[in-house]
């Protein structure tokens, strides 16, 4: 049996699409739209702005890279995590899990490229309701990673339990 089955190929394609979309949107926001300095923003809707920020850390700004050594250490750690996700995705059989992992992989690759080339991750999506911001400023990669993690967690809590219950039920005679 080939490791590159149709569901896995679809997963790899989704990861590539997420990566490409993330990089293209970041380039568009910081290039043609010229939202490329701290404080720059454009209101799109009353509750959504494009607002430039630099994220020197990982999720929620944790583990901020304050030196070149820390920057490359974050690149190495996140690349290792992306490699683990890639291998996990190649071993998965269920398309739901492959989908979640592909979103995580595509998002991770987008943020790794930023961190490696710029020293920080470009964040620009600012969802807010007045002064209330339910999320920090984020990007497509962050959204994909979050959705992928939610899919993996939901499937691990709900789908696998149902499969196990079906396996445990005694045979009907």
Q: Please identify every residue annotated as catalytic.
A: 123, 142
CA 9 vs CA 3, 13, 136, 173: distances in Å: 9, 6, 33, 41
Residue located via tokens 């400023």: 137
Q: What does the block give as tokens for 30?
A: 């910081």
Q: How far is 136 from 125, CA to CA, in rounded Å?
A: 9
Burial label, 67 (beta-carbon count in 10 A; 0-12, 13-18, 19+) = exposed
């Amino acid at each position: 049996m080939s490791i590159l089955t149709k569901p896995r190929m679809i997963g790899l394609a989704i990861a590539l699409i997420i990566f490409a979309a993330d990089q293209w949107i970041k380039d568009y926001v910081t290039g043609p739209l010229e939202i490329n300095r701290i404080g720059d923003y454009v209101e799109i809707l009353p509750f959504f702005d494009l607002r430039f920020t630099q994220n020197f850390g990982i999720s929620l700004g944790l583990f901020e890279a304050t030196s070149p050594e820390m920057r490359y250490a974050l690149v190495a750690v996140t690349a290792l995590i992306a490699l683990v996700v890639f291998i996990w995705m190649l071993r998965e059989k269920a398309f739901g899990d492959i989908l979640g992992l592909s979103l995580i992989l595509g998002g991770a690759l987008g943020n790794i490229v930023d961190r490696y080339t710029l020293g920080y991750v470009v964040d620009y999506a600012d969802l807010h309701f007045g002064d209330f911001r339910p999320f920090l400023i984020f990007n497509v990669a962050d959204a994909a990673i979050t959705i992928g993690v939610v899919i993996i967690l939901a499937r691990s809590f709900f789908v696998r339990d149902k499969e196990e219950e079906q396996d445990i039920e005694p045979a009907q005679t």
